[in-house]
Structure 1
Amino acid sequence: MFKKLLISSAILLLSACSSSPDWDYDQSIEFANYKTFAWAPNAALKASKTDYQINDLMEKRVRTAIKQSLSTQGMRMVEADTADVLVNYHASVESKIESSTLNTHYGVRWNYWGWGMQSQTTAKEYDVGTLVIDVIDNASQQLIWRGAKEGRLRSKQTPEQRTASINKTVGDILQNFPPKVQY
């Protein structure tokens, strides 16, 4: 149950302390030929019906953000059997540890002479969530583009904050789809 809660938190809270997105794509593909998209048959966030926060509301937020971003880029959503590309997405959560050390030095005090050093190290565990979006050529069923973004997770967000977080994360990931030609 704890792992499922962590995974659900990843989707909800990716925008906090987020990193730059990462992309990879097939350089032999002419992306300008792709005009339509549909959802891949296995595109879903739900791992099981018992997940607390991965639910139909979050699923809808992710799909809406992807659809809006691709539509803004001139792509049109159609039925899967006629789509040029299929879109898949998934998320993961990884726990990390952050440590910090505070060093203090002391010297002369009233009725006490001495020199010393004291160190105090603290560790804090935090979760990093990653959202991955895949684009698959429908004719060949081959992965042609992948984008991902990870970020430190925050909790206790309102529905509006969750929507804004997902919209920003998806927009950041898809800002390089179709890929910009590098010279």
Structure 2
Amino acid sequence: MKNILIIAALALLTACTQTADWDYDKSADFANYKTFAWAENADLTKDTNNYQINALMEKRVRSAIISELSQKMGMRLTDPANADVLINYHASVDKELDVSNFSIGYGARWSSWGMGYHNDITTREYEVGTLVIDIVDRASNQLVWRGAEDGRLRKNQSPEQRERSVKKTVAKILTNFPPHQQ
């Protein structure tokens, strides 16, 4: 029994420590990137009509990106004409389906006994949001780094909860920027 609990705890910890998805151009020299600006087409709300992806959320995303790049990476926000890299971001929302199955294999009644079979299937639809952050070398106009993270969208959150969630998501995405090149 103890081994089962240990395995379950490890599985839970592994699920909680998943890293964001990211990719980068191995030929890019990330040490040269000191300044950033917003790409002209950076817009969180452009291709989605989900009520949670709005101008308020866009302000939170921009603030979190500025904080991460400035405080943790020492980069400075500047105007696009002088930036080393341009930051683009976008979000998408997809619907997912959660299916649960519950079965019972025997039963008894007052007047009889016997084997029975009951199968109860429940489904729930929920929304999964994905935030993508692109980093483009301004001089070459080439994508040099992309990170993404997805998660279940929670409804009925306070503005403070939404802000914490965005900060956590952006920090998780940018954990691997700049990449540790070998």
Structure 2 SS opposite 1:82:
coil
Identify which of structures 1 and 2 has the higher relative contact order when contacts are C-alpha pairs closer than 8 Å and 6+ apart. Answer: 1
Match of 1:26 in 2: 25
**Could you state the TM-score of these two structures normalised by the residue count of structure 2?**
0.84
Identity of aligned residues (%): 58
Q: Does 1:158 align with 2:158?
A: yes
**In structure 2, what is the Cα distance between the partners aligned to 1:150 and 1:38?**
24
What pairs up with 1:47-126 in 2 under 5 angstroms?
Answer: 47=46, 52-72=51-71, 73-126=73-126
Match of 1:36 in 2: 35
Structure 1 SS opposite 2:44:
coil
Match of 1:10 in 2: none
Using the TM superposition, give the Cα deviation of residue 59 of structure 1 relative to its aligned residue in structure 2, in angstroms.
Answer: 1.8
Larger mean CA deviation between 50-59 and 99-108 belongs to 50-59
Question: Contact 2:45 / 2:90 at 8 angstroms: preserved in 1?
Answer: no
**Could you state the TM-score of these two structures normalised by the residue count of structure 1?**
0.84
Using the TM superposition, give the Cα deviation of residue 33 of structure 1 relative to its aligned residue in structure 2, in angstroms.
Answer: 0.8
**Paired positions, count:** 165
Question: Contact 1:18 / 1:152 at 8 angstroms: preserved in 2?
Answer: no
Question: Contact 2:44 / 2:91 at 8 angstroms: preserved in 1?
Answer: yes
Using the TM superposition, give the Cα deviation of residue 181 of structure 1 relative to its aligned residue in structure 2, in angstroms.
Answer: 2.5
Q: Against the structure 1 CA distance between its residues 114 and 53, is the aligned structure 2 distance closer, same or farther, given a 3 Å change threshold?
A: closer
Q: Against the structure 1 CA distance between its residues 65 and 132, is the aligned structure 2 distance closer, same or farther, given a 3 Å change threshold?
A: same
**In structure 2, what is the Cα distance between the partners aligned to 1:54 and 1:21?**
20
Q: Alpha-carbon deviations, 1:105-130, whole Å to 9, x = none?
A: 22444321211111111111111100
The amino acid that maps onto 1:180 is H
Question: Contact 1:136 / 1:144 at 8 angstroms: preserved in 2?
Answer: yes
Larger mean CA deviation between 141-150 and 53-62 belongs to 53-62
Question: Contact 1:18 / 1:151 at 8 angstroms: preserved in 2?
Answer: no
RMSD: 2.0
The amino acid that maps onto 1:59 is E
Unmatched 5+ stretches in structure 1: 1-16
Q: Against the structure 1 CA distance between its residues 47 and 29, is the aligned structure 2 distance closer, same or farther, given a 3 Å change threshold?
A: closer
**In structure 2, what is the Cα distance between the partners aligned to 1:94 and 1:168?**
20
Match of 2:13 in 1: none
